[in-house]
Amino acid sequence: MCDDFNRGGFTPLLEADIAGYLYHLLLKRKLAPVNVYLDTRIKTLKKKKQKRHYYDLVIGKLNQEDAFVKPDLICQIKAFQRWGLTHQQMRRRLELISKSDIPSMKSASKVLKNGRVQIIVDLFDKDLHGFLEGNQKGHKRIDTLKEKYSKMKIPLIWIHPNEDGDLGFNVFGRKP
């Protein structure tokens, strides 16, 4: 994905574009489409009033009776776009990680201890040094996220611009 972005062959505008691109890559690498799902629910422990969480990309087997996926891999994606968002909207996206992504990944841990991955794509360019490289409450935003995901034992893939302005990535925590 980074290589295609750097060559100008892929320019995501929204998180859905990133999820769709990853779906495309999985199919291109011969993963059966019947095992790849976008914006879907997973099969969880049965509770009558359990909150349903939706996951950006899931690899697993469909249980047609319950219309849930039994996951082998779960990815949550959060994108900080280069275009079209104000700083306030970026801060709101950061808040959504704590209010939505982290609780949904914690819920998924009941059925899948390993195989949960948070992918954060920070598309800000080198002049802005990436939104997550900035500070909030005296700490780098990315360091705060690394700590939160480390406590949950979930790998964090951070895709961000390097010194040359090209996208690269870092993986924190266990390798997915």
pLDDT tens sequence across 23-40:
999 999 998 999 999 999
What is the domain partition of the chain in residue ranges? 2-172
Cα(167)–Cα(62) distance, integer angstroms: 34
Confidence of residue 153 (pLDDT cuts 50, 70, 90): confident
Cα(114)–Cα(4) distance, integer angstroms: 29
- The share of the chain scoring above pLDDT 90, in percent, equals 37
Q: H/E element holding 33?
A: none
Q: Token digits for 138?
A: 């005296």
Q: Token digits for 28?
A: 């291109």
Whole-model pTM: value is 0.86
Q: H/E element holding 5?
A: helix 2-6
Q: Which residues contact 118 (CB under 8 A, 6 or more apart)?
A: 75, 76, 78, 97, 101, 105, 145, 149, 154, 155, 156, 157
Q: Token digits for 65?
A: 């009776």
pLDDT at 176: 47
